[in-house]
Structure 1
Amino acid sequence: MDIFGDLRRMNKRQLYYQILNFAMIVSSALMIWKGLIVATGSESPIVVVLSGSMEPAFHRGDLLFLTNFRKDPIRAGEIVVFKVEGRDIPIVHRVIKVHEKDNGNVKFLTKGDNNEVDDRGLYKEGQNWLEKKDVVGRARGFLPYIGMVTIIMNDYPKFKYALLAVMGAYVILKRES
């Protein structure tokens, strides 16, 4: 399993072909992702639930599909994914109150189904309500526990490297047969 030896034995055409194949796979994945962003209106059309704050509706590891069409009004009871200034990771919670003003300005409050109190403690200091600009997307569907692979790879980095090694070994063995 000498990968560098395999690379040295390839002629230039084979090496270019392998590089081109890899580039096509990466660019195809990027095009699919960008296409999903355009089709859903969400900067992140797929997210993984990282905590148990939304149980029993969603469990840790569930994969959510999001849309974020700006024309659709936000309503109480809807599950939204939002970002708060100062936090890198988006939060998945339910809208519990909506305030609409005559000028069209909409503010709302969220809470995790499994939490005792609303999310005001999660918002940036001095912020009591979220606005549409804070919303990354709205949950439209989900696949249960599919995102556990992502959680395991983040919680246990050694697992990530072991998985990459197994995949690399598979590719090399597959090519030799």
Structure 2
Amino acid sequence: MHALTDTWHEFKTMDKRRRALQAINLLLVISTALMTWKFFMVASWSESPIVVVLSGSMEPAYYRGDILFLELTYNPPMNVGDVVVYKLGDRDIPIVHRIISVHEEKDELYMLTKGDNNRVNDRGLYSQGQFWITRKDLMGRVWFYIPYVGIITIWLNDYPPLKYALISFMVIVGLTSREPQG
């Protein structure tokens, strides 16, 4: 608690120029993060190039908390065995599952998916009357992953006070950190 009061006191005693510099530094960090995200979007051709596995339906291939990097290219074409991430129109949360059947008809690609740890295919998850997922449903194909690092994201979503505390801490540190004296 003492450190927090010291930080608050330091912030209050800053002159306007130093406050402006700290605010600019914070904005630079945020803009760098956004530019990095946009770079991944362009490089992967996907609107959501990075996702976190939220359930155990893909175990043992991917576990809850793994971070998946996606690409949305059709060269090479989607094949049985590829792990894809798709989002259905009426659901907010994307689904990470493996393609178990593919067929093409009139320049449209139709795919049936299933979680590795599930007993049945995903037709029960699809929208009513939908029997296949198509290109419009796809967010991307998994090309790389980092195990367990995304568990932090899950904790932040499961415990909102933790998320707000972390964001507040980062803003305070960003606004009050000192430039090295040299």
The answer to whether the superposition gives a TM-score over 0.5 is: yes
Amino acid at match of 2:154: I
Q: 1:36 to 1:107 in 2, by over 3 A?
A: same
Secondary structure of 1:130's counterpart equals coil
In structure 2, C-alpha distance between the alignment counterparts of 1:50 and 1:128, rounded to whole Å:
24
Shift of 1:85: 1.1
Residue matched to 1:29: 33
Could you state the TM-score of these two structures normalised by the residue count of structure 1?
A: 0.89
Residue matched to 1:73: 77
Secondary structure of 2:129's counterpart equals coil
Note if 1:114 corresponds to 2:117.
yes
**Which of 5-14 and 50-59 deviates more?**
5-14
Is the 1:54–1:92 Cα contact (8 Å) retained in structure 2? yes
Secondary structure of 2:120's counterpart equals coil
In structure 2, C-alpha distance between the alignment counterparts of 1:168 and 1:29, rounded to whole Å:
14
Shift of 1:100: 1.0
Q: Number of paired residues?
A: 176
Secondary structure of 2:21's counterpart equals helix
Q: 1:21 to 1:33 in 2, by over 3 A?
A: same
Residue-by-residue CA offset, 1:122-159 (whole Å, 9 max, x unaligned): 11111111101110010001111010111111112233
Unaligned runs of 5+ in 2: none
Shift of 1:166: 5.6
Name the Cα RMSD after superposition: 2.3
In structure 1, C-alpha distance between the alignment counterparts of 2:179 and 2:23, rounded to whole Å:
18
Secondary structure of 2:107's counterpart equals coil
Secondary structure of 2:101's counterpart equals strand
Shift of 1:8: 2.8
Amino acid at match of 1:148: I
Unaligned runs of 5+ in 1: none
In structure 2, C-alpha distance between the alignment counterparts of 1:24 and 1:170, rounded to whole Å:
14
Residue matched to 1:135: 138
Is the 1:85–1:123 Cα contact (8 Å) retained in structure 2? no
